[in-house]
Structure 1
Amino acid sequence: MSQAAGMQVSRLTPSSVAEPDPRALAADIPPNVLVHLTELAARRGLSSDAWFAGLGLTRQQINDPSVRVSYRQARTLIGRGLKVLRDPALGLVVGSNETIGSFGLLGLAMMTSRNFGEAMSVGIENHKVCGSLLDVDFAVLDAQTVAVQAWPRFGEIELLPFLCEELFSSSLAIARELVGPKLVPVRMELTYPAPAYANEYARIFRCEVLFGAQYNRILVDTGWLAHPLPGYNPLTSRQALALCQQQLRGNASHDEIVGSVERLLRSQLREHPRLTEVARTLHLSERSLRRRLADSGRIFREIHDRVRAERALELLHAGQLSVAEIGNELGFSDPREFRRAFKRWTGMPPQSARRSMS
C-alpha cells in the first residue's frame, strides 16, 4: 500500500466507518493472532469458548490450518479477549511471546533468506500469510534509515493500539531471533496517544517511542540489511516462499457465511448434512441461509460438492483408505454412487486420480 493510500484510510471519519465494509466480511485471514490470544488465556487459566458465541466459529476450529476468518470475526474475538484478560498491554504481551516458528512457512522462508534485508522483504510481501490485521509496507526514508509501516484497515481506531503492539513486538522478536539481541530500532512512531503503560514500549523496543505521530512505523538502520543469516539455504527459501505465495492465492475472499458453512460441512461429511440441518446449527432459517449464500454468489450444493471433492483428493493422496472407504468417509453408502460423484466433480474416476498423484 502506498503512503498516500494509507493517509486516505487514516482520514476516514467515525461516521464513515459505522457502515460495515463488505470486505470486512471476507473470510480470508489466517487466525494466527486469535490462536496466540486464546492460548494466552488458557495459560492464565481462563476459558475463551464464550468469545466465539454467534460467530459461526469455535475455539477448536481456529487450530485448523485451512480455516480462514473474516476481519469482523477477528475484531470481535480480540475485543472480547481484551475485556476478559483485562491487560492493557495485551498486544505487547502476545507479540513478544511469538517466535520465528509462530510464522510457520513464512518464518522458514525468512530464516533461510540470504540476509536480514531479504528476510524483511519476504516477511513484508507475504505478511497476510500470518493473518496480519494491518496492511504492512516497506519504506526507504533516507540513506541510513528504512521503516516497516502499518496501516489500519477499514478505518479501525479502537483496536489500533493492540494491533500495532502485536505486529511490531512480534516483528522485533523475530528480527532479534534472526540477527541477535543487539538489534535496536532507530525509533518507533505511533499515531495514537501514549497509553498509561508507555514505559512497556521503552522496555521492549529499547528505543525512542513517539506517540501522536503521522505514521505507525518502526525505523531500522540500513546497516542491518546486509547482515548475513546463518540459516541461509536458497533451495529451502524458494520452496517455502512458493508455498507462502500459493497460500496467498488460495485465500481468495469469500463471505464469512461461506466459511462457516464450509467448516461445518468438513466436520460432518460422514453424516451428509442437508441444508436444513446446517442452517439450524448456524441458528438461521433455511431461507435465510439460502439468501445469504446467494448474496455471496454461492449455492449450498456447490459448496458441499467442493468440500467433498477436496477431502476425497486429500484421502486419495494419503493412500491409506480404499475408494469404498473414502466414499463412506464422505457420506456415500454406495461406492458406485461415490465414483459417479467424484467423476462429476473432477472429470476422472477415483483410481485414475490416485494414480496421477503417485
Structure 2
Amino acid sequence: MRASVSTSQDLGMPAIYLHTLAELLHTLGVDERDLILRVGLDPTRLNSTDRRVSQAQASEFVTRAIIESGEPGLGILLARELKLPLHGALGTAVMSSRTLAEALELMTRYLTLRAPHLHVQKRSAGNSVWYSVSCGIELGPLQGFVLDAVLFGCVSMGAQLTGTTVPGIRVLRQSPEPNHFHRFRRLINVPVEFGATEDALVIPASQLTLPVRFSNDQLAMTSREQCETALRQLKEDTGFASRVRRVIETSHPFPPKLARVASTLFVSERTLKRRLQEEGANFQALVDKVRLERARELLASTAMNLSQIADTLGYADAANFTRAFKRWTGLSPSHFRTRELSTAETA
C-alpha cells in the first residue's frame, strides 16, 4: 500500500511551480494572491527555482486551484507554461544536452529534484522507447493533475529542445479518457491513448538522436554537477527539521506560529517539539535562522528601511530587529547593508 501525501517523506515541491500555476490562475480569473494566502504561503517567496514548499501546502494549493478555477484540465494548461529555465539546474542541464536522448536521460536521473515522488523507468521495444512514469505515494485526486503536468510537460519540453513537436511521439495514460479532454486534443497535438497499462511517454528510437538547439558542452558539465550536488543535498534534507524549516521559509504571515506549522505537517505541537528535539533542533532556532537569512537578503537587495524590514520579519519595531541582528552577526543592520553595497560595487 502506498503512503499518502500526509504520511510520506516530504521532500517539498519547487516553489516556482506554484508561482507559475498562480500566474495561470490569474489568466483564468481567479484571485491567485488570495488563494496563496489562504493556504498560508507568502506570494513573495514563491518566485524561486531553488526554494521548496511543503508537499502538504502544495497539495492544498493545487486542490483549491482546480476547484476554484473550475478547470479539471489545469495540469494540461500548466504543462504548456513550464519553460525549461523554470526547472532550475535540471532545466539548464537538459537545455545544454547534445541530443534528445541525453536530455531524457537527465530527466530520468534527476526528476526527483523537481517531482520527488515520481519515478521514470526506460525500456526499449521494437522501434520505440518507453519512458514510464509512476508515483511512489497516493496522491488521490491530484494524481491526474500531476501526471498531466509531467507527461504533457515532457511533450512541450521536446518541442522546446528541438524546435518542433517530436515526430511520432505519443502519450499513454492508464486512466479512462476524462470528459473534459476533448477540449485539449488540438492543443496537445500528439496522440494520447487512454486505458493503457501504464502512464508513459513513447518516442520512436530514431528521433532520440535529434540535436538540441541550445547544446553547450561547458554549461552541460557545470549544470550536471549542480544537479548532483542538489540531489545529494535533497537526500540529506530528509529529517523532520528540514520539513519544519521549509514550512517556515514560505509561510505567511511570518513568522508562523508553532501550532500552524504542526497543523501543516499533520502532527500535534507536542510531537513537533519532540521530533525536533530528537534531531537536536528546536522551533525558535529554526525561525531565527530563517529570519537571519531573510534579513540579510532584504538588507542587501532592497531599499526597504529598517522599520519595513522589521515588520516583514515579525518584529514589533526596528529597535528589536536591530538588537536581534546584532546578536546574530555582531554588526548593526545599517553597517551590514553598507558593507554589502560596498562589496557589490567593487565586485
Superposed pair shares fold, TM > 0.5:
yes
- Between the aligned partners of 2:69 and 2:323, the Cα distance in structure 1 is 48
Structure 2 residue aligned with 1:224, among 192, 204, 207? 207
2:143 equivalent to 1:160: yes
Cα deviation 1:25-44 (Å, max 9, x = unaligned) = x2522123322221111123
Q: 1:48 to 1:236 in 2, by over 3 A?
A: same
2:160 equivalent to 1:177: yes
Q: Which deviates more from structure 2 when the two are superposed, residues 117-126 or residues 295-304? A: 295-304
* Offset at residue 193 of structure 1 (A): 1.0
2:129 aligned counterpart, secondary structure? strand
Structure 1 residue aligned with 2:31, among 14, 26, 47? 47
Alpha-carbon contact 1:151-1:216 (below 8 Å) kept: yes
Partner of 1:150: 133
Partner of 2:272: 292
Structure 1 residue aligned with 2:238, among 253, 270, 273? 253
- Between the aligned partners of 2:211 and 2:47, the Cα distance in structure 1 is 34
Q: 1:215 to 1:201 in 2, by over 3 A?
A: farther
Cα deviation 1:113-153 (Å, max 9, x = unaligned) = 121111111122222333x2651314122252112221123
- Between the aligned partners of 2:226 and 2:43, the Cα distance in structure 1 is 26
Q: 1:299 to 1:235 in 2, by over 3 A?
A: same
Superposition CA RMSD, Å? 3.9
Cα deviation 1:184-239 (Å, max 9, x = unaligned) = 34432111111113335542444442212211001001112222223221111111
1:184 aligned counterpart, secondary structure? coil
Aligned pair count reads 312
Query: Which residue type is aligned with residue 142 of structure 1?
Result: A
Structure 2 residue aligned with 1:194, among 177, 180, 189? 177
Structure 2: tracts of 5 or more residues without a match: 302-317, 332-338
Partner of 2:112: 128
Alpha-carbon contact 1:257-1:293 (below 8 Å) kept: no
Q: 1:223 to 1:283 in 2, by over 3 A?
A: closer
Q: 1:194 to 1:280 in 2, by over 3 A?
A: closer
Alpha-carbon contact 1:82-1:90 (below 8 Å) kept: yes
Alpha-carbon contact 1:258-1:293 (below 8 Å) kept: no
Partner of 1:34: 18
Query: Which residue type is aligned with residue 7 of structure 2?
Result: D
Query: Which residue type is aligned with residue 274 of structure 2?
Result: A
- Between the aligned partners of 1:85 and 1:30, the Cα distance in structure 2 is 22
Q: 1:282 to 1:190 in 2, by over 3 A?
A: closer
Q: 1:36 to 1:18 in 2, by over 3 A?
A: closer
Alpha-carbon contact 1:41-1:47 (below 8 Å) kept: yes
- Between the aligned partners of 2:3 and 2:251, the Cα distance in structure 1 is 31
Query: Which residue type is aligned with residue 248 of structure 2?
Result: V
Q: 1:246 to 1:202 in 2, by over 3 A?
A: same
Alpha-carbon contact 2:5-2:55 (below 8 Å) kept: no
Structure 2 residue aligned with 1:106, among 90, 97, 100? 90
Alignment identity in percent? 20
Query: Which residue type is aligned with residue 245 of structure 1?
Result: E
* Offset at residue 21 of structure 1 (A): 1.6
Cα deviation 1:60-80 (Å, max 9, x = unaligned) = 322244431222222111110
Partner of 1:347: none
Q: 1:240 to 1:212 in 2, by over 3 A?
A: same
Alpha-carbon contact 2:173-2:196 (below 8 Å) kept: yes
Q: How does 1:198-347 map to 2 (within 5 A)?
A: 198-200=181-183, 202-251=185-234, 252-255=237-240, 256-263=243-250, 278-279=257-258, 289=269, 291-296=271-276, 297=279, 298-304=281-287, 306-307=289-290, 331-333=321-323, 337-338=327-328
Alpha-carbon contact 2:259-2:269 (below 8 Å) kept: no
Alpha-carbon contact 2:4-2:139 (below 8 Å) kept: no
2:53 aligned counterpart, secondary structure? coil
Under a length normalisation based on structure 1, what TM-score does the superposition of the two structures give? Answer: 0.72
